[in-house]
Structure 1
Amino acid sequence: MPVQARTTSILFVCLGNICRSPLVEAVARRRCAEAGLEVVLASCGTGNWHVGKGADSRMQRAAAAAGYDLSLHRARQVESADFLRYDWVLAMDRDNLEALDVVRGGRGARPELFLPWAVVRSPHEFPDPYFGEAAGFQQAVQLAEQGVDGLIARLRGG
C-alpha cells in the first residue's frame, strides 16, 4: 500500500487581512491548482479591525483585473492555534512578523517573511498598498504573482 504524502498547509498573514494576505492566498490557490499541487491555503491578519469584513474594494478591483476573485473573502485575526494548524506561517512584513512571534508563544510553526522565503530578491517586505494610490494595488498583484511563483518552485523542491 503506497504511503500518502502529507498535504502542506500555508497561512499568509498581513495587518488587517483585507489587502495583501487575501490576495496572496487567491494567487496561490489558483496557481497551485494549475501546478497540480495539493496545498491547504488560508490568510489572516494580526489586527482585529476588519474581522468579518470583505477584502478592500481597491484590492478586489486590482485582483479581478488580473483574474483573481476576492469577493468571498472574509477577514479574520490570527490565533495561537494557527501555529499548530499550519506548516508555514508567512508574514507580509516585519511588523506582522513581530506580532506573530508574540501570538505564537514559542509553539508550532515559526513565522517567516513571505517574499524572501519565496525567493523574491527584492523587496524583502511586501509593501502595504492600503494608504496609497491605485497603482500600489496593481503592483501588489504583480508582487504576489512573483512571490507565489517562487513559493511553487520551493514546494516542488526547486
Structure 2
Amino acid sequence: MSNKPYNILVVCTGNICRSPMAEGILKGRLPEQLAGRVAISSAGTHALHGNRAQPYAIEVMQGFGVDISGYRARLLSPTMVASADLILVMEKFHLKFVKMKSFLNSVSIRLLTEYDPDKEPYDVPDPLGEPIEAYEASARIIDNCVKGVHAYLDTIFRNE
C-alpha cells in the first residue's frame, strides 16, 4: 500500500444522525495499529451542508465515549466518492445513489450491515424524528457492524 491513508466514507441521508454516529464509533474504536493508516469521514446524499448532528445522536454517542458535538453535515460529492477506498452506506437506497455517482470509479460500496456477523445485510433504521431509544437502537447496530469493519481492515493491512 502507498503512504496515502485508506479512505473510508460513511453515507446516510442527512448526515446528522447515522453517518456521524458511525464515523464517530469507527474512529473511536479504531485499533491502535490502524491509527494514521485509515481516514474516516461521512457525508449525506441529501445533507444540508453545515447542519449540526442531531441532539439525540450527540447524547447517545456520549454514552459510547464519542464526542460528535462539533460535527457539521456535508453533502456527498463526486470528489468524495472518487477519493474513497471504501464507502459504507446505511440503506439500499444509498447504495444505488452512490453507485450512480461512482460509475467510472472502482470504489468498494457496501451496506454497513454487511459487516454484521450475526445477520444478512439490512438497512440501519433512520432515527430522525424518533425518540432517543431509536438513536440508541441504531447506534447498537452500527457498533456491532464496526467490529466487522475493523476485522476487514485488519485483513487489508495484515500483509504489509
Place the TM-score, normalised by the shorter chain, in its bin.
0.7 to 0.9
Equivalent residues of 1:13, 1:43 under 8 A apart: yes
Q: 2:43 aligns to what SS in structure 1?
A: strand
Shift of 1:69: 0.5
Amino acid at match of 2:57: M
Give the Cα–Cα distance (whole angstroms) in 2 for the partners of residues 42 and 36 of structure 1. 19
CA distance in 2, matches of 1:151, 1:119: 10
Q: Distance in 2 between matches of 1:108 and 1:20?
A: 25
What's the counterpart of residue 53 of structure 2? 55
Q: TM-score, normalised by structure 1?
A: 0.87
Unpaired runs of 5+ residues, structure 2, are none
How much does 1:76 deviate? 0.5
Alpha-carbon distance in 2 for matches of 1:151, 1:5:
21
Q: C-alpha displacement at 1:6, in angstroms?
A: 5.0
* Secondary structure at 1:13 match in 2: strand
Q: CA deviation at 1:4?
A: 5.7
State the match for 2:13 in structure 1: 15
Distance 2:53 2:41 in 1: 14
Residue 115 of structure 1: CA displacement? 1.1
What RMSD over aligned residues (CA atoms) do the two structures have, in Å?
2.0
CA deviations 1:72-126 (Å, max 9, x no partner) are 1110011111222110111110111121122223334142211114545255211
TM-score, L = length of structure 2: 0.86
In the other structure, the counterpart of 1:88 is 86
Deviation (angstroms), 1:65: 2.0
Structure 2 residue aligned with 1:70: 68
1:136 and 1:82, CA in 2 relative to 1: closer, same or farther beyond 3 A? same
Whether contact under 8 Å (2:14, 2:45) holds in the other structure is yes
Q: Would you say the 8 A contact 2:112–2:142 is kept in 1?
A: no
Aligned length: 154
Shift of 1:134: 1.3
CA contact (8 A) 1:29 1:41 kept: yes
Q: 1:44 matched to which residue of 2?
A: 43
* Structure 1 residues 101 and 31: alpha-carbon distance in aligned structure 2, compared to 1, 3 A threshold: same
Amino acid at match of 2:33: G
Percent of aligned pairs sharing the same letter: 25
